[in-house]
Amino acid sequence: MVTPAARLEAARFGATEAEWADWRWQLRHALTGAEELSRHVPLTDAERRGLALADGQARVAVTPYYASLIDPAHPSCPVRIQAIPAPEEAERSAGDLRDPLGEDVRRPVRAIVHRYPDRALLLATDRCAVYCRHCTRRRLTLAGEGALSRSDLADAIAYLRAHRGIREVIVSGGDPLVLDDARIDEILSALRGVPHVRILRVATRAPVVCPMRVDASLAALFRRHAPLFVLTHFNHPKECTDAARAACETLVDAGVPVENQTVLLRGVNSSARILQDLFERMLEWRVRPYYLHQGDVALGTGHLRTPLDAGIAILEALRGTTSGLAIPHLAVDLPGGGGKVTLQPGYVVGPDGAGRGTWLRNSRGERYLYPDAPGRDCTCPYEAVYYASRDGGTSTEESA
């Protein structure tokens, strides 16, 4: 259903109601340069320089829907900062890497990144509806590798079949939801044909930047391939529109769990107040706040990264002031491919000098003694019996 506000925005962008609600129209009419953007947003001199410097270095595209969320009066609007390049993107900060997560050396075939023993990433496309200015894979989107071909998919499936330890595949890119339902179904069906792949995830920003992409048909498609989780990417409460909520609830109502991964961005959401608002809204939509990501050290993103202690301070501020359900893990993807680690405030003060236990503190700084357990042997006597019975005497390592 197109709301009155959406009708006004559609008219502002020269679209009919039907066109505005059509995700294909949104992709075809994405704003890709200064001339198109300036028709709808009064660009600052810095933004014009940023767009000129990005030409040939990083893709720019903003769906009309996402552009409609930009506050035209404020250059610090969190939507425009995420969508319109700044001149600082052309600068290199200390530690910046072209491939910050060390993915390219872990691509055994074109479409697969295999970093963890039990998980693999399937790169379904190099395109996105909106190219985020903090993107960690801009090297791929700029390279123009194109969508996953059937030959690429066959190679990926052959690799997965040969590596029986892989039980989970994340379909990403680019954004796989720029593909049509038939192609997505073809990819997911191929993955479901690998017996040991038990869990699927689809990583997409469509609910945020092009929510009309998520309809009952897509939700039903995802449900057919359960267990399947959708990972989306809201960064600011300004992105939490009625249309975005409808997209998330369409998935959840169909039995498709949705989890959110927020990237901590300096000057955009680097505030406990902003993030508490965002995470509590996510919970109201039945979307789990999963990760708060420290920015990856991707080339051209240094101006958006926060110090590590800023994220820890935000978690400290959230703890005790909102539900634990609304507090995600603060994750750092280690530069060069070391994998994710999670950070949190230090609540362990230290051992009690009298050997009685360990002093802990709460979010208010109050100290409490947790007594030592009377025993230290944590062996589970039934463990071997249970797994021998369940697995027929074959260990997990052997079966992998």
Among residues 59, 127, 133, 137, which one is catalytic?
137
Among residues 7, 115, 192, 361, which one is catalytic?
115
Find, among 257, 260, 218, 215, the residue nearest to 239 by Cα: 260
380 catalytic, yes or no?
Answer: no
Residue 2: per-residue pLDDT: 67
Q: What is the CA radius of gyration of the chain?
A: 23
Q: How confident is the model at residue 201 (pLDDT cuts 50, 70, 90)?
A: very high
Angle at which helix 308-318 crosses helix 272-284, to 10 degrees, equals 60
Q: Which fold has domain 104-343?
A: TIM Barrel (3.20.20)
pLDDT over 90 (residue 144): no
- The pLDDT tens digits of the residues spanning 63-119 come to 999 999 999 999 999 999 999 999 999 999 998 999 999 999 999 999 999 999 999
Mean pLDDT over all residues of the chain?
94
Q: How confident is the model at residue 1 (pLDDT cuts 50, 70, 90)?
A: low
Q: Distance (Å, rounded) from C-alpha 63 to C-alpha 79? A: 12
301 and 264 Cβ atoms separated by less than 8 Å: no
- The pLDDT tens digits of the residues spanning 328-357 come to 999 999 999 999 999 999 999 999 988 899
Among residues 59, 77, 126, 132, which one is catalytic?
132
Q: Where are the domains of the chain?
A: 4-90, 104-343, 349-400
195: CB partners within 8 A, 6+ apart:
none
Residue 167: per-residue pLDDT: 98
Among residues 7, 96, 106, 116, which one is catalytic?
116
Q: Distance (Å, rounded) from C-alpha 348 to C-alpha 362? A: 9
Residue 397: per-residue pLDDT: 43
**Region 369-378: what's the mean pLDDT?**
94
Q: How confident is the model at residue 400 (pLDDT cuts 50, 70, 90)?
A: very low
Q: Distance (Å, rounded) from C-alpha 191 to C-alpha 193? A: 5
Among residues 128, 210, 240, 248, which one is catalytic?
128
296 catalytic, yes or no?
Answer: yes
pLDDT over 80 (residue 395): no
Longest dimension (CA), the chain: 75
Among residues 119, 266, 286, 288, which one is catalytic?
119
pLDDT over 80 (residue 276): yes
The Cα angle at residue 206 between residues 156 and 222, in degrees rounded to 5: 55
391: CB partners within 8 A, 6+ apart:
399
Q: How confident is the model at residue 281 (pLDDT cuts 50, 70, 90)?
A: very high
116 catalytic, yes or no?
Answer: yes
**What tokens appear for 185 in the block?**
């179904």
Instruction: Name the burial class of residue 310, with classes exposed (0-12), middle (13-18) and buried (19+) by CB atoms within 10 angstroms of its CB.
Output: middle
Residue 399: per-residue pLDDT: 42
Instruction: Name the burial class of residue 208, with classes exposed (0-12), middle (13-18) and buried (19+) by CB atoms within 10 angstroms of its CB.
Output: buried
Among residues 77, 135, 240, 248, which one is catalytic?
135
115 catalytic, yes or no?
Answer: yes
pLDDT over 70 (residue 376): yes
Q: Facing residues of 259 across strands?
A: 231, 288
Q: Distance (Å, rounded) from C-alpha 356 to C-alpha 270? A: 40
**Region 140-160: what's the mean pLDDT?**
87
128 catalytic, yes or no?
Answer: yes
The Cα angle at residue 300 between residues 294 and 303, in degrees rounded to 5: 60
Q: Distance (Å, rounded) from C-alpha 265 to C-alpha 133? A: 10
333 catalytic, yes or no?
Answer: yes
Among residues 65, 138, 296, 305, which one is catalytic?
296
3-class secondary structure, 93? coil
Q: Distance (Å, rounded) from C-alpha 271 to C-alpha 88? A: 22
Residue 264: per-residue pLDDT: 98
Spatial strand order of the sheet with 288-293 comes to 112-116, 119-123, 168-172, 199-203, 228-232, 258-263, 288-293, 329-334, 339-343
| Burial call 239-261: b when 16+ CB within 10 Å, e when fewer | bbbebbbbbbbbbbebebbbbbb
Among residues 183, 286, 340, 361, which one is catalytic?
340
pTM: 0.92
Q: Facing residues of 332 across strands?
A: 341
- The pLDDT tens digits of the residues spanning 206-246 come to 999 999 999 999 999 999 999 999 999 999 999 999 999 99
| Burial call 48-66: b when 16+ CB within 10 Å, e when fewer | ebbbebbeeebbbbbbbbb
